[in-house]
Amino acid sequence: MGTIAITGSGSGIGAATRELMESQAVDVIGIDIQNAEIEADLGTPEGRQRAIASTLDMAGGKLDGLVTCAGVSVPFDPKLMLSINWFGTMELLEGLKDSLAKGNENSYVVAVSSNSTTITPNIPDELVNACLDRDEQTAYEVLDGLESPQDMAIAYAASKLAVARYVRMNAPSEDWAGNGIRLNAI
């Protein structure tokens, strides 16, 4: 089945996904802050770039799949939550896209979103739009204007809503579907 990368492979959903894939003879490159082949902090731009470069190196420039499970929830610093859950996911999607296009026919991506996108009230459009525009500074400024602990729930839901919207907007595009990459969110 080839080689896939899984973010958040050290625990939770990512670890369970890894175990399942390896039981089906899939070569897995784990990415996590610890206990993974690639140890990188996806909450920082440097960590994201290290994860991308190391994944490309380990995969020989060609991936057959990517599962983005890395993420944190409440209680957690809202800005760091947004950095990991959204900016970390988006940068890895974009940074590994070309290697997925070189993978086996119809490579796949599963990006983890959340039902919080539909049950959390009052998610500021400005925050989600700043995420989709890749404007970390504006996103953090919007978070600064929210009261605690509401800011944690909003940051989580906004990060996962941005993932869902990114996938909806990009999955049918030439960059993704046109290159034989199935882009999905769950």
Query: Which domains, ranges and CATH numbers included, belong to the chain?
Result: 3-185 (3.40.50.720)
CA 106-108-113 angle, 5° bins: 155
Q: Is 166 a catalytic residue?
A: no
pLDDT band at 26 (very low <50, low <70, confident <90, very high): very high
- Give dist(CA 114, CA 151) in Å, integer: 17
Q: What is the mean pLDDT of residues 154-182?
A: 96
Identify the active-site residue in 108, 140, 156, 166. 156
pLDDT in tens, 29-81: 999 999 999 999 999 999 999 999 999 999 999 999 999 999 888 778 999 99
Q: What is the mean pLDDT of residues 17-22?
A: 97
Q: What is the mean pLDDT of residues 108-134?
A: 88
Peptide bond preceding 172 in cis form (omega within 30 of 0): no
Answer whether 0.85 is exceeded by the pTM: yes
Tell me: pLDDT of 1 over 80.
Answer: no
Whole-number pLDDT of residue 150: 87
Q: What is the mean pLDDT of residues 99-109?
A: 91
Write out the DSSP string of 97-111.
Answer: HHHHHTSSSSEEEEE
